Amino acid sequence: MRLILLGPPGAGKGTQAQHLVAKYGIIQLSTGDMLRAAVKAGTPVGRQAADIMARGALVPDEIVVEIVAQRIKQPDARNGFILDGFPRTVPQAQALDRMLAGHGLALDAVVELRVDEDALLRRIESRVAAMKARGEPVRDDDSPEVLHRRLSAYRGQTEPLIAYYRRQGTLRTVDGMVPIGEVATAIERVLARQRKAGFAPRSRGAVRKSKRAAAKKPAKPKIASKRASKIGRKSKSRASAARRRVGAARKSPRGARNGAGGKPRAGKRGH
């Protein structure tokens, strides 16, 4: 399953992504987290991004697209991923479409978390105040002025993606103002419907490739029934192992962030 969570800062993307990681065993790719890691590590990308991020502006498309392109090639992304914070501009979305088509893949869903902006500002400000009161580190870009700039970057550069994905037929909108559990249930419902509909049609390139492969290869002989039932048993035990893994991940969902098993970043408030 490959999906995008779309919504302004504070809409709850991070929280919902963690829930989906635990539920479906796919990885979460947060470009914000990846960029913050690059800043912390002092890499060339990090040095370029640091000031831009602190101002609440967007890092140039080429940089972010390259980071994502490298990341989705990793073996742990093969089963699927949730993109949180990417794409954030139409050129990024177009680059993602090309990237996926190059791997013979497509998006299964784009879930928009729709929220009320005033309530959002209040939500973030009170969360930041609570973090400060607890003595927890707060992100540089969480000050009220920068927050306004992040919201206006969202409005100007990211919101057009809603129309972009609506045109593609992949957009599904969920009310992000209800309690966290209810948002999660609504997203699950959307995904179940998508799954029922057979998820995304494969890209034309992939279909062409598999047609060519089918023309070359002779059809596989049918699996004899005894072997088939053995395979059935095997895949059942694989499924229960996967469920156990998901259960373990649920106990420590943060560990699955960005699939790196890394530490959660300081100051992320899970949105």
With contacts defined by CB under 6 A, name the span among 49-57, 70-78, 165-173, 200-208 that binds ligand ADP.
Answer: 49-57
In 10 A of CB 107, how many CB atoms?
A: 19
Residue 88 annotated to the active site: yes
Residue 150 annotated to the active site: yes
Cβ neighbors of 230 (< 8 A, separation 6 or more) are none
Specify the amino acid at residue 49. Answer: A
Query: Pick the catalytic residue: 150, 172, 257, 269?
Result: 150
Q: Does 35 bind ligand ADP (CB under 6 A)?
A: yes
Side-chain-facing half-sphere of 264: CA atoms under 13 Å: 16
Cβ neighbors of 188 (< 8 A, separation 6 or more) are 23
The Cα–Cα gap between 112 and 158 comes to: 11
Do 39 and 64 touch, CB atoms closer than 8 A? no
Report DSSP state, residue 108. S
Q: Does 56 bind ligand ADP (CB under 6 A)?
A: yes
Judged by CB, which is closer to ligand ADP: 151, or 184?
A: 151
**DSSP element (H, E) containing 102:** helix 90-102
Q: Which of 2, 19, 71, 88 lies at the binding interface for ligand ADP (CB under 6 A)?
A: 88
With contacts defined by CB under 6 A, name the span among 81-89, 95-103, 226-234, 236-244 that binds ligand ADP.
Answer: 81-89
The Cα–Cα gap between 238 and 191 comes to: 22
Judged by CB, which is closer to ligand ADP: 81, or 86?
A: 86
Q: Does 123 bind ligand ADP (CB under 6 A)?
A: no
* Size of residue set near ligand ADP by CB under 6 A: 18
Residue 139 annotated to the active site: yes
CB of 107 to ligand ADP, least distance (A): 15
- Contact set with ligand ADP (CB under 6 A): 9, 30-32, 35, 52-53, 56-59, 64, 85-86, 88, 92, 141, 150
